[in-house]
Amino acid sequence: MICVLRIDEFLKLSEEEQFKSIWKDGTHIDTIIKTNSKLILYSLYKFYVQLTYDRKRNRIIDKEVFNEGKLLDPFIENIEL
């Protein structure tokens, strides 16, 4: 049986469990490379996760979880419809 989490259930998971879910069940949508960082967008269940990766420090520095909105805007131009 496949477990599908709602966004509120995902947010209640520990940081470690959230990342396990992203790596196991997430679908990579796109990556935007900036000078010092990368924005990496995943589709996970019925919502999105944006990871901000610091290229100099070689680590993830931020995680945003959302259903829709402005965080999708930078990725829209790269998505083929």
Tens-digit pLDDT profile for residues 42-79: 999 999 999 999 999 999 999 999 998 888 888 887 76
Backbone phi and psi for residue 71, each to the nearest 5 degrees, phi listed first: -65, -20
Tens-digit pLDDT profile for residues 16-37: 999 999 999 999 999 999 999 9
* Distance from C-alpha of 14 to C-alpha of 28, rounded to nearest angstrom: 21
Q: Where are the domains of the chain?
A: 26-81
